[in-house]
Amino acid sequence: MSLINLAFKKTKNEKRPALLTYTVAGDNSKKKSLDILISIANYADICEIGFPHNTPIADGGQIQSSAYRALKNGIKIKDVFSIVKDFKKSKQAKPVILMGYYNMIYQYGDNNFINICKKVGVDGLIVVDLPYPENKDFAKKCKKKDISFIQLVSPTTSPNRMKKIIRDSHDMVYYISMLSTTGGKLKVSPKKILERYNKIKNLNRNKNIVIGFGITEKTIASLRKADGLVVGSALCKEISKSIKKRQNPVTNVTNIVKRLRNKIA
Amino acid sequence: MMKLKKKIPLIDQHDKSGFWGGKFGGNFIPETLKKPVEDLTNLFEKLRYDKKFLKQRDYYFKNYIGSPTSFIKLQNLSEHLKGAQIYAKMVSEANGGAHKIYNATVHCLIAKKAGKKYVVGDTGAGYAGKMLSMAAKKFGLKCKIFMGAKDIKRQKPNVDAMKKNGAEVVPVYSGSQTLVDAVSECMRYWVSNCDNTHMCVGSTVGPNIFVKICGWSTAQISRELKIQIQSELKKIPKKVKLINCVGGGSSAYGFWSEFMDYDKKQIELIGVEAGGPKNSKLHAAPLTNGAKLGILHGAAAYVCQNSEGQINDTASISAGLDYPGVSPIHCFLKDTKRARYTSATDEDALNAYKLVTKLEKINPSLEPCHAFAEAINIAPKLSKDTIIIVNSCGDAKKDRDILKARLGKIN
């Protein structure tokens, strides 16, 4: 069983949703981002790691700031891989999902990128601007290497399309809670989000479906019926805040993740 | 091998996945935009064959935009250069002062049909934004324009015009604060508001459908030109060169589309990109400089980028050309060798501006001055029976501050 599936199995046994975190590799330095990951992994079930791009078309201000900071620090894709590798040295069983935009993968070469992902221990990939069905070939290549390609579905995904995406999906599907970039304020009621979520879930109860976008300490408890919940912008925002206040982002971000975890325990 | 098809508009020569030549274009978009893009695609495919809609389009092209724009001979410039005969298609006469009005008008007509109340768009030189704000006002739509903070400063006259038209101008402070960031921010806004908002991409870039709608709109330029050449010169001459600046490439596509099927020995298509400041490494000329294929703003095209796939900073005196990517259609035209691409530096463009405005009673903006620079460069080497036609696709009013700073005085 894949590490991602194992993580969901464990949280289901504990009768709680999985907590997924998203932070940007290299924010605010290579070492700090690794320290943050290792520290929050004590409370998070799955760690999503962003590889920063300077033209992100679906990210809000918080994640953009993180990405620009990382790029300004000179982070390269090889650094992202080495962060994953180092992370896995101390947290072998913790699933890692890399998330980013397709151009960076494309420049690296699909196969090359996937091979290195495999080598350093990446468990899953989310490619924001490679939608279904354009991602079919790429998803197949991932599957061959036992890397989960994570499909995204959104409130605008038609029922027919939803069926096809779920059918072709791997270990996990990411449901975008609302029409928004990352980090937007939750503008749909949790009840409505869960209603839509259940419709997707009913297409195949065996698929792990996580909800992301707009999830913060305030909103997370209301969505705890989901298989998993992703928090990203709130963490990136905390890093920005910590830097501004000259505080240690490792401690501050860890505290948020700890609190998030308590809210869904 | 990649090949152009005859008798099929270039905008329709893509495969099922939206790629021209199997690799340019496509739809690299977030899942949320799949449905709105599909809806827009279906609506546009219906409307473009709808007689009533076409009648409406033609009505506004004629009575609102002022088609046809004139086709004139630049006698003094031709005599001065002592070579090819130089003509200009004065697209800058269009309502608002540039070709961007065609795309803006069509997008607003589509937005009305789609029942959308809001329209958003990106802008670099400010023309796309100004025109969209004009058309939005005309058709009763609320309008938001995304514009890089750097461009807001350097193209103030157009910003003032947008505000006067009732549009909200949203400054974009991320990245290089120019067009590339404005397009990103506009797409991000659309992701969040696609349920009630129509997005207009300001050039033949972006996801497949936006390339098509824009090209379909600007194609009016060459429809007019073909008729004008035939009436002015009796027939299509044996040696013609159609020179156009290329940023995203919307005016160039519109200027060339009716002439695609001609042999390039008879009608040569020359695209002029922004070479940036002389002696600078920065430019906005991905085709000229052999940039690698990459994905930017939802489409695969040649794009100025580093080996990691990060998009490079660009530089050009002309905000309208200051973009790291280019239309997938122009990539296709380059690789099929139907069009030839070159670049002109900031200084070339300024010198062209000086010469053209000294000799002729026209006032081309810095974008078409890049095309004029190439015309001035090649005309003396060409025979007297060669016809050069430059698309003078924008008016220099918006450039008054830059021209004043760089040339001291303006005409």
pLDDT tens sequence across B250-289: 999 999 999 999 999 999 999 999 999 999 999 999 999 9
Residue B409 pLDDT more than 80?
A: no
B317 and B272 fall within a common domain: yes
Chain B residue whose CA is closest to A180: B192
Given CB atoms, is A64 within the 8 Å cutoff of chain B?
Answer: yes
A128: CATH: 3.20.20.70
Last residue of a domain, one of B215, B245, B277: B215
Determine, yes or no, domain membership for B287. yes
Do B31 and A130 lie within an 8 Å CB cutoff? Answer: no
Same domain, B269 and B387: yes
Q: Does residue B340 carry a pLDDT above 90?
A: yes
Residues B50 and B188 in one domain: yes
- Determine, yes or no, domain membership for B314: yes
Please report whether residue B16 resides in a domain: no
Is residue B381 domain-shared with residue B244, that is, in the same domain?
Answer: yes
Give me the percent of chain A exceeding a pLDDT of 90: 98
Whether B334 is in a domain gets the answer: yes
**Mean pLDDT of chain B, nearest integer:** 96
Of the pLDDT bands very low, low, confident and very high (cuts 50, 70, 90), residue B410 is: low
Please answer yes or no on whether A131 and B36 come within 8 Å at the CB atom. Answer: no
- B103/B227 same-domain check: no
Digit-coded pLDDT (tens) for B196-239: 999 999 999 999 999 999 999 999 999 999 999 999 999 999 99
Tens digits of residue pLDDT in B47-71: 999 999 999 999 999 999 999 999 9
Please determine, for residue A46, whether its predicted confidence score (pLDDT) is greater than 90: yes
Averaged over B311-317, what is the pLDDT? 94
In A, which residues are within 8 Å of B34 by CB distance? 131-132, 156-157, 161
CB contact under 8 A, A58 and B30: yes
The answer on B224 and B175 residing in a single domain is no
Q: Residue B397 domain-assigned?
A: yes
CATH of the domain at B345: 3.40.50.1100
Q: Does the distance separating the beta carbons of B34 and A156 come in below 8 Å?
A: yes
Domain endpoint, select from B215, B243, B273: B215
Q: Judge if pTM exceeds 0.90.
A: yes
**Percentage of chain B surpassing pLDDT 70?**
99
Q: Is the pLDDT of residue A250 over 70?
A: yes
- The answer as to whether B296 is a domain residue is yes
SS3 annotation, chain A: CCHHHHHHHHHHHCCCCEEEEEEECCCCCHHHHHHHHHHHCCCCCEEEEECCCCCCCCCCHHHHHHHHHHHHCCCCHHHHHHHHHHHHHHCCCCCEEEEECHHHHHHHCHHHHHHHHHHHCCCEEEECCCCCCCCHHHHHHHHHCCCEECEEECCCCCHHHHHHHHHHCCCEEEEECCCCCCCCCCCCCHHHHHHHHHHHHHHCCCCEEEEECCCCCCCHHHHCCCCEEEECHHHHHHHHHHHHCCCCHHHHHHHHHHHHHHHCC
Q: Which residues on chain B are in Cβ contact (under 8 Å) with A107? A: 292, 294, 305, 307-309
What residues make up the domain containing A168?
Answer: 3-263
Contacts of B31 in chain A (CB under 8 A): 131-132, 152-154, 156-157, 176
Query: According to the model, what pLDDT value does residue B411 have?
Result: 52
Exposed / middle / buried, residue A4 (Cβ in 10 Å: 0-12, 13-18, 19+): buried
Question: Are B210 and B290 contained in the same domain?
Answer: no
Residue that is last in its domain, among B164, B183, B215: B215
Based on the domain organization, do B153 and B194 belong to the same domain? yes
Flag if B294 and A132 touch (Cβ within 8 Å).
Answer: no
**Residue B219 exposure: Cα atoms within 13 Å on the Cβ side:** 19
Structural domain includes residue B33: yes
| Site from A53, A106, A156, A165 to mutate, B interface, most B CB atoms within 10 angstroms | A156
- Partner B contacted by A134 (CB < 8 A): yes
Select from A107, A130, A157 the Cβ nearest to the Cβ of B307. A107
Tell me the pLDDT tens digit for each residue of A109-165.
999 999 999 999 999 999 999 999 999 999 999 999 999 999 999 999 999 999 999
Facing A179 at nearest CB: one of B193, B292, B311: B193
Q: According to the model, what pLDDT value does residue B24 have?
A: 98
Q: Which two tokens stand for residue B76?
A: 């003094």
ipTM of the complex: 0.96
Q: Which tokens belong to A238?
A: 């905390």
Using pLDDT thresholds of 50, 70 and 90, give the confidence band for residue B174: confident
CA atoms within 13 A on the CB side of A247: 13
Asked if residue B366 and residue B341 are part of one domain, the reply reads yes
User: Chain B within 8 Å of A152 (Cβ-Cβ)?
Assistant: yes
Distance from CA of B339 to the nearest CA of A (A): 26
Query: The domain containing residue B145 runs over which residues?
Result: 28-61+99-215
For chain B, the domain total comes to 2
B362-372 mean pLDDT: 97
